[in-house]
Amino acid sequence: MIGDQAGNPQLKPERTSETEFGFDARVLHNRASVQLTYFTRKTSDGIVVMPIAPSSTSSSLFQYANGGSINNSGLEAVVTAQLADRNAIAWDLTVSASHGTNKINSLGPQSSIVIGNTRQVPGYPVSSLFFRSYTYNDANADGRIQASEVTVDTAFRSYGYQVPRDLVSISNGFDLLSRRLRVTALLDYKGGHSVFDASGAYLCQQFLSCPDESNPSATLAQQARSVANRYGSVVNGTTYTTAAGYVSNGRFWRLREVAATVTLPNTLSHKILRGDHATVTLGARNLHMWSNYSGVDPESNYGMGDLQNDFMTAAPPTYYTLRLNLHY
């Protein structure tokens, strides 16, 4: 037994083969370096969750088994440069970026694995979001979307990756006051993925005070997503609803961190602090975010896993630190 899963004595390790190539180069009279890497990876005997027949009398109807096959590929780049290097001022820059793709080739005997809105389906990315799509039309042009003006599809379709495919990090460092003050700033970008605003979908399904419907200035798109989520449409006597309208592009830029480190005068570090030298660092993290995400924050995460689950969760907090470093 593994956790709440039935044991499997035939379970084997996953096997991965990878091909990687790239190059490193020094340019601008060795003041800058460029690293570029491309990789392609195939995983076989992937460990997946398999259902067990109820007639097995097992305490769990699922177990881990080998059966998955996944392809991954990606491109990674790192550029570092010393843009200025003088006694009074220095400036160094590091830019790293990556783009990745993956696709499930096989799940063994299973056609798909469904856990909530997340599905593992051959031919699609790992842990894709799946929802029914919908359309709407303000047929009477009254500025309000009614249930009769929304049509929900009966079939599910993929809304893409949940894990960011595109990552960019830009780090700047400035040395000032004859190298006694160093200021650093880190800017992050994540994109190429979708985030499900589960908080908005839940609130607008359960409560009539949902702003998508109760707010007079709500757009037609906001009204339609709430109507599709709460009421849906009826096809052959069956009601189909969808929360697809609460899936947003998860891309964002975030000013991740800014810090300033001051080297204290020798008289202060020697005579008062009794050390060889001392520095004081004032830092701030998660200062600002630029995004069109419709929920609270594209990095809000209800769980501890890699997949975003924005359900009744606060945004990453902004916090400040003050640190004294003594060297003896």
pLDDT value at residue 55: 59
Give ∠ CA 111-116-120 in degrees, rounded to 5: 30
Could you tell me if residue 134 is inside a domain? yes
Could you tell me if residue 26 is inside a domain? no
pTM across the whole model: 0.85
Residues 206, 311: Cα–Cα separation, whole Å: 14
Q: Which of 72, 263, 77, 302 is nearest to 178 (CA)?
A: 263
Could you tell me if residue 321 is inside a domain? yes
Could you tell me if residue 50 is inside a domain? no
Could you tell me if residue 166 is inside a domain? yes
Ranges in the chain, pLDDT < 50: 1-3
Based on its alpha-carbon atoms, the radius of gyration of the chain, rounded to whole angstroms, reads 26
Residue 203 phi, psi dihedral angles, 5° rounding: -65, -40
Could you tell me if residue 20 is inside a domain? no
Q: What is the pLDDT of residues 90-129, one digit of tens each?
A: 999 999 999 999 999 988 777 888 888 999 899 999 989 9
Q: Which of 96, 53, 51 is nearest to 78 (CA)?
A: 96
Q: Which of 261, 270, 265 is nearest to 322 (CA)?
A: 261
What residue numbers bound the domain in which 195 lies?
A: 111-327
pLDDT value at residue 210: 85
pLDDT value at residue 1: 44
Could you tell me if residue 71 is inside a domain? no
pLDDT value at residue 259: 97
Q: DSSP string of 264-301?
A: PPHHIIIIIS-SSEEEEEEEEEEEEEE---SSS-TT--
pLDDT value at residue 328: 73
Say how many C-beta atoms besides its own lie within 10 A of residue 30's C-beta.
8
Q: How far is CA 179 from CA 86, 128, 170, 227, in A?
A: 9, 49, 22, 60
pLDDT value at residue 272: 63
Could you tell me if residue 152 is inside a domain? yes
Give ∠ CA 105-47-111 in degrees, rounded to 5: 45
Residues 57, 69: Cα–Cα separation, whole Å: 29
Q: Extract the tokens encoding 15.
A: 């096997």
Place of tokens 């035939």: 10
How many domains does the chain contain in total?
Answer: 1
Q: Are 300 and 286 in contact (CB under 8 A)?
A: no
